[in-house]
Amino acid sequence: MITFALKCENGHNFDSWFQSSAAFDTLKGSNMITCPVCGSTAVEKAVMAPRLQDSSKATSASMPAPPRLSDDPQRAALAEMRRRIEAESDYVGVKFAQEARDMHDGLIPMRAIYGEAKPEDAKRLIEDGVPVAPLPFTPGRKAN
């Protein structure tokens, strides 16, 4: 595991854990890393000091624990927001844009939904006056 100091295009600084540097690169290339404050996917590694330890003493027990949510009020608030959205809304996955448009057009009943949309589909929804907003987290994919 490796911790990176990250910074989004809006200047928000945050840390995140990754399996490896290559895992970070893969997730960044897929726009899967988002700022926990504003939801931006334009995230870069920030300047940070490396943490080194004597390899003769390196064990999994000596690895520092990830930060707890309770240590950061913003992360705790975002975790609570996510919990409520997931508990009180229907996850529609990649059908989000179509479901939102159908509700807006009165073709299906209104309900709280969340899911995933391609950037161009989300832009069209906004341009057409469909009330949508990006989430400051990536929805977890739900399986049957």
pLDDT at 49: 63
pLDDT at residue 62 greater than cutoff 50: yes
Position 18 confidence tier, pLDDT thresholds 50, 70, 90: confident
Residues 112-115: contacts with CB under 8 Å, at least 24 apart: 112/88, 113/89, 114/85, 114/86, 114/89, 114/90, 114/139, 115/91, 115/139
Q: What is the rounded distance in angstroms from the CA atom of residue 88 to the CA atom of residue 136? A: 17
Range of weakest confidence among 40-54, 70-84, 98-112: 40-54
Does residue 83 sit in the same domain as residue 41? no
Residue 114 CA to its chain's centroid (Å): 13
Does one domain contain both 125 and 84? yes
- 75 assigned to some structural domain: yes
Give the CB-side neighbour count of residue 98, counting CA atoms within 13 A: 4
Q: What's the total number of domains in the chain?
A: 2
Strand 90-93, strand 113-115: pairing: parallel
Radius of gyration of the chain (CA): 19
Task: Give the residue carrying structure tokens 């945050």.
Answer: 14
63 located within any domain:
no
pTM of the model as a whole: 0.50
- pLDDT, one tens digit per residue, over 38-50 is 888 899 988 766 6
Q: Is residue 93 part of a domain?
A: yes
| Residue numbers of the domain that contains 43 | 1-49
| 131 and 78 belong to one structural domain | yes
Dihedral of CA atoms 128, 133, 137, 141 in degrees, nearest 10, equals -50
| Same-domain status, 144 and 73 | yes
